[in-house]
Structure 1
Amino acid sequence: MKKRPENSVCLDLMVDYLEQLMKEDTYAADIAKLTFSLTSCEKGMTLQIIGFNDKLNLLLTVIMDHINTFESRVSKEKFNAIKELTKKNYFNTFTKASKLVRDLRLSLLQDCYIGAQMRHSIIDSIDLEALTSFSKAFKSKLYIQGLVQGNISKSDALEVFKISSAISDNMTSIPKETCCMEIPKGEKRMRMKGVLPSDNNTFVTNYYQYGPGDLKMHALFELLCMVMDEPVFDILRTKEQLGYFVFSVLRNTQGVLGIEVTVNSQENKYKVDFVEERIEAFLKEFYNKEISDMDDLKFAEYLKTMIKKKKTADVTLEEEMNRNWKEIISRDYLFERNKLQASLYENNQITLSDLKEIVKQMFLDVSTVKKLSVQVIGVDKKIEEESLDELSLLNKKHAIELQIPSQNNELFIQNLSYYKTTLIAYPVTHISK
């Protein structure tokens, strides 16, 4: 149901409204040291309850009753108040350059992605009737995934699922999954100005796409990220001092693997083009100094570190729960992933030659590189915050307006929506073997 932007906004409003309602009716749960969270996410609504097992079902029953009778509990006055808070949350999200650069990246990469900026632009059109209609439709056709973990018997765990599923008589089959778009070989850039005229933060995210992965490739990319982690920080942050927030990370977008390098700088210190150039220079230096001359002894040390990491047991129940829940929501269901990846490292399934080749393929070889540079530019000269008309900015409908520079403009995407129609979607990939 979340394919339409209006549905995404309605789900956010429903979750925000339910949270307010339940704060009034779950005070006893706080006294009993039970905690819960209800959140809206890309795939739907997530409910998490933590506490002593003998009281969990009581709290779950109260929460499910609120969801089940939601339409009868709402009022226009409270709806308008919740709507204003949700609208402000959207605004506070996309006005942060770090969030905006992520939204832009995913708006292009995912075949369906509704960012905070788009949600903010349509929330004023959502009324109470639209919310209650959505709520009924949402509950009429549910697909429920669950996980119960801890000091609880099988029969009590089954009772949890029974209470949760009683909300709907019509469970749906597995919903259509989101796909990742293929980035063409070569380089494309997306550039947008930051929203706030008082913010000089510039974010450059260079994303290098590999393609659909498997367990072995995922293990290779995790190893690569570990090898990159210290050099990217040492060179781009410590030595070149481009900014305090500098990192590289493995991205798994619906089973499609890629490497991201992100630098947060200040536009009045370093221009966006300079920062982008330094990222590229770093990747060449990284290969020449860290990868090309790496010997078997050094590589074995990295493998040893990865094996130790994969064999380290979860310290807390929450860590174990989060790891298992990640497998469930991704629908990979590979609960022994760490054990299997450790085995790949131990049995020399990941080689030094593999590492050298993947770095050349991903970053250096112009015939294989698939690069997307997403850039959010801060202001050169800051406007003092006290002189801003915050209410005007809050109520303005902010569209995605991409910037096209006069130089190298053939690299830049002019219209995100149109460009996306020219891309091919990868098939849904589950990294489970």
Structure 2
Amino acid sequence: MANLFTELFEDALNEYAYNAGLAGLSYSLTNTRVGFLLTVEGYHDKQPMFLRKILEELSEFNVDEKRFGIYKEKYMRGLRNFDNKEPYQHAIYYANHLMAELEWTITELLHSAADMTVDKLQEFIPRVLSNLSIEAFMYGNVTKKQSRELMNMTENILTKKCGTRELFASQCKRYREVQIPDGCYYLYQAENNVHRSNSVCIYYQCGLQDTLSSVLLKLFLNIIDEPCFDILRTKEQLGYTVYSCFREACGVQGLEIVIQSDKPSQYLNDRAEAFLYHMDNVIRDMSEEEYSHYVEALVNDILEKPKNIYEQDAEYWCEISSNTYNFDRDNIEVACLKTIKKDDLIKFYQEFIAIDAPYRHKLAIHVCSSLSEELKADELSANDTDLLPLPPKIPEPILVEDIAEFKRCTGLYPLPKPFIKIVKVAE
């Protein structure tokens, strides 16, 4: 419902928004996991008037029956087209779904959308606007006084027109990430009936974010970035989609490797493990000069200035939306990074990434094509003697057959503590 509401609202305000755009103003209204995100951009002197108009339209919005039918069909068509997406996108979707405390599946969304009516959506709008907790960020050519005036205007319009009341602290839900037990390796398999390619998304969960562990993980990723592409994509020719990345959700971080290929998913999984096993020796044999080069490169990357006000705004809002409020994160991480030695990085690898690491938390998603020829991973490995060796004693995975049952049987990480305490603005 939230998705359809935002789509229909923007459609209804399309003409007004177009004229505002000619005057240098723009807005967007999107739904998030916990509510709505309203963004207003443009010339600061016209923003109060523009925001007032949007809020007044929002509080008095009536669903147009004809437009509802069009956008409902468009929304459901988008959900049904999920099957046509690339296999690696499916793998990432399933990884995110398994790790999230609560996330609706495509099938569940389709069933809900099919039952949606104009009356149900019209009833939903005032109900959702009747209880809100508002968190706002204003950045640019604006004073503290002007910011408070804008917020007072926002609250007054919502209170008078929608009867909005503040949510209780217990009603402000923040979702957490599933905690993979120490030393466990879970495997979830899905079938793709559209593409001939297979894909894997391998997630190594590295625990709650803090400055030291975050910097160590980013440094490790910085070191393996080029070799990952060079070895897995160029030399072993696994496919065009091969990359490693930093994954962060709900204050929990980890390393993610994504590969899409015509080779079997288990073979791709084995090649990723062989690559990480190989990187252990690469880091150990690395000279201090090489190590310092990677540290310096990461420092430069972290301290790179935002190219415009929108990039800076996005960085600040990321801290707010995650409720961490570490607005000086870059400088704090760089100060920590400069104290880290190569031995610290080796210790991090041995504790979280190595095949026998005590705190290794692995989730592998295998998306297998029903259209490709069946090949065995061990036969492919035997035919190529130039491949990196596999680590000894690769553990057997625990097969996830029911996602809901998997979540019921695993714990959740606590939420990260805010870096600073945020208090409600006094009247």
TM-score (norm 2): 0.86
| 1:245-256 equivalence runs, <5 A | 245-256=241-252
Q: 1:339 to 1:203 in 2, by over 3 A?
A: same
2:207 is the counterpart of 1:205 = no
For residues 358-411 of structure 1, the C-alpha deviation after alignment (integer angstroms, 9 at most, x for no partner) is: 2222222424321100122234359xxxxxxxxxxxxxxxxxxxxxxxxx9963
What SS does the aligned partner of 1:249 have? Answer: strand
Letter in 2 for 1:187: Y
| Percent identity between the two aligned chains | 24
Aligned twin of 1:186: 184
- C-alpha distance in 1, partners of 2:312/2:257? 28
What SS does the aligned partner of 1:198 have? Answer: coil
- C-alpha distance in 1, partners of 2:63/2:88? 35
- C-alpha distance in 2, partners of 1:337/1:79? 44
Letter in 1 for 2:277: K
1:259 corresponds, among 243, 248, 255, to 255
Aligned twin of 1:137: 127
Asked if the contact 1:36/1:50 (under 8 Å) is kept, the reply is: yes
Asked if the contact 2:325/2:418 (under 8 Å) is kept, the reply is: no
Aligned twin of 2:376: none
Asked if the contact 2:319/2:326 (under 8 Å) is kept, the reply is: yes
Q: 1:344 to 1:198 in 2, by over 3 A?
A: same
- C-alpha distance in 1, partners of 2:335/2:168? 35
| 1:269-280 equivalence runs, <5 A | 269-280=262-273
How far apart are 1:69 and its partner, in Å? 1.0
- C-alpha distance in 2, partners of 1:409/1:298? 36
Aligned twin of 2:23: 32
Aligned twin of 2:425: none
Structure 1 gap segments, 5+ residues each: 1-9, 383-407
1:220 corresponds, among 216, 236, 239, to 216
2:329 corresponds, among 311, 324, 337, to 337
2:284 is the counterpart of 1:282 = no
1:77 corresponds, among 50, 54, 66, to 66
What SS does the aligned partner of 2:411 have? Answer: coil
Q: 1:117 to 1:231 in 2, by over 3 A?
A: farther
For residues 13-53 of structure 1, the C-alpha deviation after alignment (integer angstroms, 9 at most, x for no partner) is: 11111111111332320211222222122222112222111
2:33 is the counterpart of 1:46 = no
2:166 corresponds, among 167, 171, 174, to 171
For residues 160-197 of structure 1, the C-alpha deviation after alignment (integer angstroms, 9 at most, x for no partner) is: 32333332431214512111111122211001012xx3
2:139 is the counterpart of 1:149 = yes
Aligned twin of 2:353: 363
1:11 corresponds, among 2, 22, 25, to 2
Structure 2 gap segments, 5+ residues each: 374-394, 421-427
Aligned twin of 1:92: 81
TM-score (norm 1): 0.84
Q: 1:430 to 1:234 in 2, by over 3 A?
A: farther
- C-alpha distance in 1, partners of 2:44/2:240? 43
Q: 1:114 to 1:422 in 2, by over 3 A?
A: same
Stretch deviating more after TM superposition (28-37 or 116-125)? 116-125
Asked if the contact 1:254/1:430 (under 8 Å) is kept, the reply is: no
Asked if the contact 1:38/1:48 (under 8 Å) is kept, the reply is: yes
RMSD: 2.1
For residues 181-232 of structure 1, the C-alpha deviation after alignment (integer angstroms, 9 at most, x for no partner) is: 11122211001012xx332232211001121231111111111111111111
2:289 corresponds, among 297, 310, 314, to 297
- C-alpha distance in 2, partners of 1:430/1:92? 39
Q: 1:332 to 1:94 in 2, by over 3 A?
A: farther
Asked if the contact 1:94/1:116 (under 8 Å) is kept, the reply is: no
Letter in 2 for 1:377: C
Asked if the contact 1:214/1:431 (under 8 Å) is kept, the reply is: no
- C-alpha distance in 2, partners of 1:39/1:418? 31
Letter in 2 for 1:332: T
The count of corresponding residues between Structure 1 and Structure 2 is: 389
Stretch deviating more after TM superposition (19-28 or 327-336)? 19-28
Q: 1:316 to 1:253 in 2, by over 3 A?
A: same
- C-alpha distance in 1, partners of 2:22/2:292? 52
What SS does the aligned partner of 1:176 have? Answer: coil
